[in-house]
Amino acid sequence: MRFVDEVELEVRSGRGGRGSPSFRREKYVPNGGPDGGDGGKGGDVVLRAAAGLATLLDLKHQTQLTAGNGAHGEYRQRTGAAGEDLLIRVPVGTIVTEVDTGNVLFELTQDGEERVLVAGGKGGLGNVHFKTSTNRAPRQTGPGEPGRAMRVRLELRLMADVGLLGFPNAGKSTLVSVVSAARPRIADYPFTTLVPHLGVVSRGDEGSFVVADIPGLIEGAAEGKGLGHQFLRHVERTRLLLHLISLADESDGDVVHRWRVLRDELRRYDTALTDRPEVVVLSKADAVEPEVAQAASDALVAAGVARPWIISAVTGAGVESLVGHVWTRLREEPSALAAPRL
């Protein structure tokens, strides 16, 4: 599946129907007078959050969308039919911004949540509303309000409790596949993950938490290098960051360097992210001798990491303890998801 997390759309609500200039024409009702009905309201443009969607791809090539127009009023004071609303389904976590002003209009954070993006035009008044004591046969009607056009940007930011960060081949996808039911693509080459993946980690009767596998970062990602820059925005939604650093073919100094580079990329993207609670994990412990893993852990402690976790997602070593620690940390943190940078 191709992942698209930002699109621009031009949407237009429906115009209101014209009021009717009708007069009563019954055979035995002389001088029947005006009986024109009002025009129908134009359709609204409505956005609805749907948990089953994970991408904005369906909207990528639908750049212009229009709601239905209201029908004209009819005789016998019949109001015209309202125009059909234009319902646009988007993933949970979608932020809507008006392109012309740059103003953030709203964000959809709950499954089934609906917001009216552009209201339809009101229907015009029928001639019955213009009848007066001096004007008993008005031919005046309301034209109906036109629809309103707006150009908006839809931006998806995944909502997860835990964000997995790391250089390519750090073992993020493997860890997600072990601790949750998610099955991301896994292979031994860089940039295996081309789209973010969400996995739900169950803690039985205690509850569960959502983990997001953010595509691999490289040095310079904040300036647009590699793939990670496309997905740094998703980190803003997470409550806890897991920094995965591979032990395979790494020296102690390189482990510390990679940890510092990851933190620096977060700082350059948004300084507030460096204050986000983090857990540093040394992955692929099965690829090195225990003393090598311990030396790398000691080097990180000397560099300022409180407690590096050593795991192997392949053998399962240390994984359950790590998950338990993450669950404890999440319960200590505020339950609300971190506010995005708008």
Position 148 in a domain: yes
From the DSSP assignment, how many helices (H) and strands (E) are in the chain?
5, 14
End position of a domain, from candidates 113, 129, 156: 156
- Do 4 and 150 share a domain, yes or no? yes
259 sits in which H/E element: helix 252-269
- Do 179 and 49 share a domain, yes or no? no
Domain extent, residue 118, equals 1-156
End position of a domain, from candidates 121, 137, 156: 156
According to the model, what pLDDT value does residue 227 have?
A: 45
For residue 223, is pLDDT > 50? Answer: no
Position 22 in a domain: yes
In angstroms, the CA 232 to CA 217 distance is 9
Q: What DSSP line would sit under 28-85, residue for residue?
A: T-TT--B-PPPPPPPPPEEEEEETT---SGGGTT--EEEPPPPPPPBTTTBPPPPPPP
According to the model, what pLDDT value does residue 226 have?
A: 42
Note the pTM of the prediction, 2 decimals. 0.65
Position 342 in a domain: no
- Do 9 and 136 share a domain, yes or no? yes
Regarding beta strands 149-156 and 94-98, do their DSSP bridges make them parallel or antiparallel, or are they unpaired?
antiparallel
User: Residue 17 belongs to a domain with what CATH number?
Assistant: 2.70.210.12
Q: Is residue 202 very low, low, confident or very high in pLDDT (cuts 50, 70, 90)?
A: confident
Q: Is residue 105 very low, low, confident or very high in pLDDT (cuts 50, 70, 90)?
A: very high
Q: What percent of the chain has pLDDT over 90?
A: 48
